[in-house]
Structure 1
Amino acid sequence: MTATTGDVWLPFPAAEIDGLPDSFRYRQWDGEDAFPADPADCVFYVTPYMKSPAVTVRPLPKMPALRIVQTLTAGIDHVLGGLADLAPGVRLCNARGVHEASTAELALTLTLASLRGIPRMVRGQDREEWHGGFYEALADRSVLIVGYGSIGAAVEDRLVPFECGRITRVARSARTAPHGPVHALADLPGLLPEADVVVLCTPLTEDTRGLVGADFLGRMKDGALLVNVARGPVVDTPALLTELDSGRLHAALDVTDPEPLPAGHPLWHAPNVLVTPHVGGSSSAFAPRAKRLVARQLTRFAAGEPVENTVLVTG
């Protein structure tokens, strides 16, 4: 996999990244209409961050020399539509290690804010209303993490000090993790009725698209909280709205379907829902970690060493 020449496309200035190999020509492109150079010369493409799939994959058909596609997101669903245009042997790498801390922080923020009634209190402050009383605590609650990869594990690390009653883990297949056993997705029907909080961290795949539908939601216990820091289409929005409108479930959503959530959409004003605008990874922690990952990957690539975080190889 050695590459000692060629162009590298970056979404931020190369001068901002310490430790880049000096054997490449660095081009900055963050989704603008005009390309920074001839895409045919690109060997390593770091995709723009938080741009649409159409923008992200637009240069791919013009990149015959491409060897590595490096996303700056944990998910890779926004790139998959362009892989058919690539030659065999191109490696797609994700940003494992970049977003875990920030996304886990937001998952905890959404959980605590929803349980403790913070949205109601903020609205009450705007109206000079005092909403005292008792609110739900995270302590002693049962939490189910659906999608126990690196982000799911980071969520659990942050849950532990809050003295949850039980933390249950679910991934595509069963295994043993440092904190305990991980159940398979097939076990969900029996696990959902016991959870007070369900945190979605799963990637968007054909297996998880619409996973949280009427049956999934119907198995959740009355009053349970659904927290989504995964991808919007993991949840069937009409089915969720039915449960929210009935008052049976609560939800805290950093991602939605559709997204961005358009004005007038019923999710904005559904009861018992907190919505944030897909900011799980968009924090001060992002840029330093992303730049370290890019420098590390390019150093390995230039030296002919295997790159990290390979999700798939074309062909």
Structure 2
Amino acid sequence: MAYAIEAQNLRKSFRMHEAVRGVDLSIRQGELFALLGPNGAGKTTTIHMLTTLLRPDAGSARVCGHDVVESPDEVRKRISVTGQYAALDEALTGMQNLTLFAGLHGYSHKEARTLAVELIESFGLAEAGSRTVGTYSGGMRRRLDLAAGILSRPEVLFLDEPTTGLDPQSRHELWELVRRLVKQGTTVLLTTQYLEEADQLADRIGFIAEGRIIAVGTPGQLKASTGGKMLTIRLVSGTDPADVCRLLASEHGLTAQPAGDEPIVKVAVQETALAHSVIGTLLRHAVTVDGFALDEPSLDDVFFALTAAHGKEAAS
């Protein structure tokens, strides 16, 4: 099998903090792979090593068959990186930005102009091509930045949280553009904090926590790995979710997790009878429940389950 990205035991430290602690990755050619994890988990540091922006302290990585340390120039020829902040000149029009970037990639003026027109149209910016980028919305800027990112016809495209701050419609428009690139054969490594985004786009997903990959699989495989169903319990205002989590651990041996800032607790249960027992336990202990639901697990639930298990393992 041909791999576009391979990493073995990749490590990187900053002073006394080990940001990446032995990452292993194998991403197939033409695959969209999403790397998910909380802030500080090591996503961006991993991307920076794979794109030659940071030198690994240990381990190895190859992109398109070239070692990121021994042949960084060969790697850079074959990749493009697009992040959450568009690297565009706001005083120039969209067309002028793309023509400029195309010229920097070695196209003649005529070729650059032709390619810019093609990309402006295919990325849905034809009506805005003659306007300065300073007048563009966030979604339009992100589309233009993505268009600039593929001017070099990269074999591998790194998308580092590309839809951060976009409204739902703009996010969906960008999703369609990314899907089109993958269909054309581009390998995409996506980092995102939107789990729905990874669920919609990714062929496979890797979860990273505290600098280590803790799970890899298709969205379906990862959801199935939680086992059974996910019980979501909404508590009345003023109830401490942490107290409920401790109660369920003590009474049932279950690892529950608070869900965000709301009075909500989530816990994976193997069978419906256990869900009934959990609710009964809460009622017996005078925990007032505002509502509950038993559903198939989502990627959010996978994230909660994996981070809870990883935290429990790290503490033991």
Scaled to the shorter chain, the TM-score interval is under 0.3
**Please, what TM-score do these two structures have when normalized by structure 1?**
0.26
More helix by share: 2
Q: Which of the two has higher C-alpha Rg?
A: 2
More strand by share: 2
**Please, what TM-score do these two structures have when normalized by structure 2?**
0.26
